[in-house]
Amino acid sequence: MLSKLAKIERVAFVASRTEEAQTARTRLASVYGDPSAEEADAIVALGGDGLMLEALHRFMNTGKPIYGMNRGSVGFLMNEFREEGLLERLRQGDITALRPLKMEATDIHGALHIAHAFNEVSLLRELHQAAKLRISIDGRIRLEELICDGILVATPAGSTAYNLSAHGPILPINAQLLALTSISAFRPRRWRGALLSRTARVTIEVLEIEKRPVAAAADHLEIRSVRRVDIYEDPVCTGLVMFDADHSWEERNLAEQFRY
């Protein structure tokens, strides 16, 4: 958790393409001004969780916190939408620094693709055939062969997203852990995944690649027909996300774990 930004004066607005989000942007800009992102002290993202992820990527390493207000469908990463008192909410908000995963994916042609993920890096089968994967942690093979629909590596921030849907664990936002979660594992049938140190380097090799092609995705960027994927936390990249002080990320994670 970082300190609050008491001197926020200029706010830039970004919005999804929906009519609801665009209308909200127009009304807020008329009240609070409409500086460019470069001139602003903070960024307000109007939309859903997808827009929040896009904003985190766009403003990574700028030092500008992103405060989301829900004008979308899910909104786990967003605060409640209210027009009044925005600057005071921003000045009192809690800021959390997020370090993304770095994905280095080599495709079947030998090309290297590099991307970042604040939520997760996932590998998924492309065809009807199950994927066949070999998993190594820090250079040591830990699972010689996993037959499955896929596998993902999730950050604490992403542990309540796709990872949770795949029955992976919810991680506290400040936990020094990554979740390695299988997706519909067939063999070993009982293997569901593992908890790893945030310093771990995960290497996933695709076996029988011609018969069982696999795609890799880092948040919203997908690479088809990968041969090998290396995943690790990037120590030089940071995104800043802001929540209302009375509804912090820690509180959201706890509430999600007791949802029934």
Whole-number Cα distances in Å, 93 to 17, 106, 242, 250: 26, 40, 6, 13
Q: What angle do CA 182, 174, 73 make, to 5 degrees?
A: 65
Residue 50 is labelled as binding a ligand = yes
Distance CA 5, CA 150 (A): 41
How far is it, in rounded angstroms, from Cα 166 to Cα 4?
35
Residue 120 annotated as binding?
yes
49 is in an annotated binding site: yes
CA–CA separation, 227 and 143 (whole Å): 17
Q: Which of 137, 141, 180 is nearest to 158 (CA)?
A: 180
**Annotation-wise, does 160 bind a ligand?**
yes
Residues written for the chain: 260
CA distance 58 to 18: 19
The values of phi and psi at residue 178, to 5°, are -125, 150
| Full-model pTM | 0.91
pLDDT at 10: 96
Main-chain dihedrals φ then ψ at residue 177, nearest 5 degrees: -135, 160
Query: 146 labelled as ligand-binding?
Result: no
| Yes or no: domain 11-98+238-257 corresponds to CATH 3.40.50.10330 | yes
Q: In what order do the strands lie in the sheet with 66-70?
A: 11-15, 42-47, 66-70, 239-243, 94-98
The reply, when asked if residue 175 is annotated as ligand binding, is: no
Residue 34 annotated as part of some ligand binding site: no
CATH of 101-233, one of 1.20.950.20, 2.60.200.30, 1.10.620.20, 3.80.30.20: 2.60.200.30
In the block, residue with structure tokens 């120590």: 235
Q: How does DSSP classify residue 251? A: H
CB-CB contact of 249 with 173 (8 Å) = yes
Residue 100: what pLDDT? 98
Please state the domain extents for the chain: 11-98+238-257, 101-233
Q: Establish whether 232 is an annotated binding residue.
A: no
For 48, what's the count of Cα atoms within 13 Å in the CB-facing half-sphere? Answer: 9
Catalytically active residues, by annotation: 49
Q: Residue 254 and residue 62: Cα distance in Å, rounded?
A: 30
Q: Under DSSP, is residue 124 helix (H, G, I), strand (E, B) or coil?
A: strand
pLDDT for position 3: 53
Contacts of 48 (CB under 8 A, 6+ apart): 16, 70, 71, 72, 73, 74, 75, 78
- Measured over all CA atoms, what is the biggest interatomic distance in the chain, rounded to whole angstroms? 59
Mean pLDDT, the chain cut into blocks of 10 residues (260 residues total): 70 96 97 96 95 96 96 83 95 94 98 98 97 98 97 96 94 94 93 95 97 97 98 97 84 77
Is 52:68 a contact under the CB 8 Å cutoff? yes
